[in-house]
Structure 1
């Protein structure tokens, strides 16, 4: 899915024809100036808003290394703005706001605050509500929660790229009652990535995007097939992260298909129903070195 973002940026200027041209040609984006700040409006596809923003940071760094993303602009809108963007009357919008129409899809979003004497809302939240009544305008934006996460991560992502390191995307092998345990693996790994040489080691797996690294967080009962499903078609390989029986952290380089240098798990006697725990036993028994890339194919 494609997501639309409005970033507050620094390092570029609307009078810089080269930068403006790159933004338009490479990103189909628009750079504008509002009072003392520059705004960058562009869209990107991803598994979610955070993943799309993650991709944008990498692409922008490659094309415009001088540009710095400061934060997301909340794109606050009032009743008149909503009416203009949707092509509806102010009265119609007020009926939505006051719960007089289309209540079957849930209440209209809470306002973000006031501007002067008028209420204002985050456009992304309004547009998400509009999508539920079939009135979505353009691409969706980041939810409030996703926007907070993106704003928090922007400095870290950009600092990693400035240091020549990839920025890491954490995903769960699946979502169920063990989701908190997988999130715990991600938190544990985030706390160790600063260890000297660790990020270089786990990012050594050949992949098209050297500046992005996906880590699939799993628990021992998870099937390897579920892990493979989390590896996108444009990713040669990822890092599988999980904790063992004694809560020790394990990192393995894996691919969803056969690639040069990777050993198929079928050669290790692991079938379609094999789990992460089964893989750990094979490694513990010495059938394969922990540093050997593995292809999760039968």
Structure 2
């Protein structure tokens, strides 16, 4: 799969003709400057967007010694840019946004914010919506919001993270809200929490289990038990909260094991965790014949207002 990326970079300028030529001739990459920042646009293939992005970042650094890849540009677009990229009138685009046209496959994506007095959207989400209507780019793919967060994390910390979810259906919107809040406000804190944690998978990626606060706690607990290492569970209640969890026997023994009611939500579980610091948790009310998962050991609880 080919992915399109635009990276914010330092250590190179558009005035460096040799660098501009080398990037173009070697990687078919374009160096430009906008808003006082230098950016490199490049297409790279890979099994996942994260793999392709890290491959691209490595190739850029090898092509131009001294170049530093900082993060992904979010490619925010307003109605004029969407109109230009889709070859549709601004009036048509405004009708999409208002839900007056092309709403049969779901509403137009929520805006990312406001620039001046104009709403702006993530192009990757707009393009995904357009593709449902047969109008988006099909030759290349763009990283999703979650993948952008993973890529920026990897670039900033020379490590990678991967988002996982419980199999319970119907909670995608809440999970996306958690990812968005993590991306906007809490990534630096998560980086500190993950430092020295035991949440790495066999590929060297930190596993972050994202849950909506209203999801059934027992399903999330069983998902934790699927891993042979710790995971970082994150959600949003009245604040953004995260806990490093493990079902492994090598986790330090807990003096207290708390049974979580079968009707409990993830929010209920976190409230129990605050009431019982250092405790282990196990799903309650299970049939005796059913295999009982190992207790979920809470190794760390961190909250950010």
Task: Give the TM-score normalised by structure 2.
Answer: 0.54
Matching of residues 201-240 of structure 1 within 5 Å? 214=203
1:90 aligns with 2:96: no
Q: Retained in 2: the 8 A contact 1:170–1:214?
A: no
**1:65/1:156 Cα in 2 relative to 1: closer, same or farther (>3 Å)?**
farther
Provide the aligned C-alpha RMSD in A. Answer: 3.4
Q: Which residue of 2 aligns with 1:20?
A: 20
**1:79/1:189 Cα in 2 relative to 1: closer, same or farther (>3 Å)?**
closer
SS at structure 2 position matched to 1:109: coil
Q: Which residue of 1 aligns with 2:119?
A: 119
Matches of 1:146 and 1:65, distance apart in 2: 26
Matching of residues 97-108 of structure 1 within 5 Å? 97-108=97-108
**1:216/1:119 Cα in 2 relative to 1: closer, same or farther (>3 Å)?**
closer
Q: Retained in 2: the 8 A contact 1:27–1:42?
A: yes
Q: Which residue of 2 aligns with 1:46?
A: 46
Q: Which residue of 2 aligns with 1:147?
A: 148
Q: Retained in 1: the 8 A contact 2:228–2:248?
A: no
Q: Retained in 2: the 8 A contact 1:171–1:215?
A: no
What are structure 1's unaligned runs of at least 5 residues? 158-166, 178-186, 195-212, 218-240, 250-298
> Paired residues, what number?
190
1:61 deviates by 2.6
Q: Retained in 2: the 8 A contact 1:70–1:154?
A: yes
Q: Retained in 1: the 8 A contact 2:71–2:156?
A: no
**1:190/1:140 Cα in 2 relative to 1: closer, same or farther (>3 Å)?**
farther
What are structure 2's unaligned runs of at least 5 residues? 168-192, 207-226, 230-246, 252-305
Task: Give the TM-score normalised by structure 1.
Answer: 0.55
Q: Retained in 2: the 8 A contact 1:171–1:214?
A: no
SS at structure 2 position matched to 1:12: coil
1:76 deviates by 1.2
SS at structure 1 position matched to 2:104: helix
1:126 deviates by 0.7
SS at structure 2 position matched to 1:96: helix
Q: Which residue of 2 aligns with 1:58?
A: 58
Matching of residues 129-278 of structure 1 within 5 Å? 129-137=129-137, 139-157=140-158, 191=197, 214=203, 242=228, 247-248=249-250
Q: Deviations over 1:33-53 (max 9, x none)?
A: 114210111111122221211
**1:116/1:100 Cα in 2 relative to 1: closer, same or farther (>3 Å)?**
same
Matches of 2:39 and 2:195, distance apart in 1: 34
Matches of 1:38 and 1:188, distance apart in 2: 30
**1:120/1:189 Cα in 2 relative to 1: closer, same or farther (>3 Å)?**
closer
